[in-house]
Amino acid sequence: MVEQDVAAPDSFLFSLSTSQGEISLMAKRDWSPKAVDRLYHLLLEHYYDSAYIFRVQKGYVAQFGIAAHSDVSQYWRKHPIPDEPVLVSNRKGTFSYAREGKNSRDTQLFINLDDNPKLDTIEFMGLKGFPPLGYVVDTDSNWGVIEKWNGNYGFGPAEEQEEMYKVGNRYLQEKYPDLDYIISTQVVKPTEEE
């Protein structure tokens, strides 16, 4: 297991190979240092490999981050990271950790599929906003892949997260068989870009 207290690079590119194709993303440590450190460690551990993209609400967000195996998800769920302020707006293409209360960010990420400035300031469970930690590299091919992700189930699967945590991928495969998923992840390289 990768040491959890080692800082991530200031910025780095990583890829998600999904059931609809590959996308590239950039993480920016100065936007949300604790979140980017966590993401870096999870990517090096291949935590997101085989994880389902269980929430796709067209024109809003796409969310993923519950591991394929329940024991892995349960471990990280018990080790959240501290809250941080929103320093960058939730514009189209940025991605943020989901959270459900104070100091509850753990592994679930969402990509903004449109500009969502309300997510910068919304009061939710005693907290203000969702701090972005990076962005999808803005290319037609990346957006072409994201636009193919199955949104037919909408928010439905997201309402059943407890079952996902208990059972893992098997639950989604049985109940929502047409969801897209992440095949594998890779940290491409640290970068001084932007």
Q: Is residue 46 part of a domain?
A: yes
Domain span holding position 185: 11-190
Strand runs labelled E in 46-104: 55-57, 61-64, 94-97
- Please write the tens of the pLDDT for every residue from 75-100: 999 999 999 999 999 999 999 999 98
Q: Is residue 6 part of a domain?
A: no
Is residue 3 over pLDDT 80?
Answer: no
Tokens of 21: 């194709």
Q: Is residue 120 part of a domain?
A: yes
Q: Is residue 139 part of a domain?
A: yes
Domain count, the chain: 1
Pairing of strands 127-128, 123-124: antiparallel
Q: Tell me, what CATH number does 65's domain have?
A: 2.40.100.10
Q: Closest Cα to residue 169, out of 122, 58, 177?
A: 177
Q: Give this prediction's pTM.
A: 0.94
Q: Is residue 91 part of a domain?
A: yes
How far apart CA 128 and CA 86 sit, in angstroms, is: 8
* CA-only gyration radius of the chain, Å: 15
What percent of the chain shows pLDDT beyond 70?
95
* pLDDT given at position 194: 44
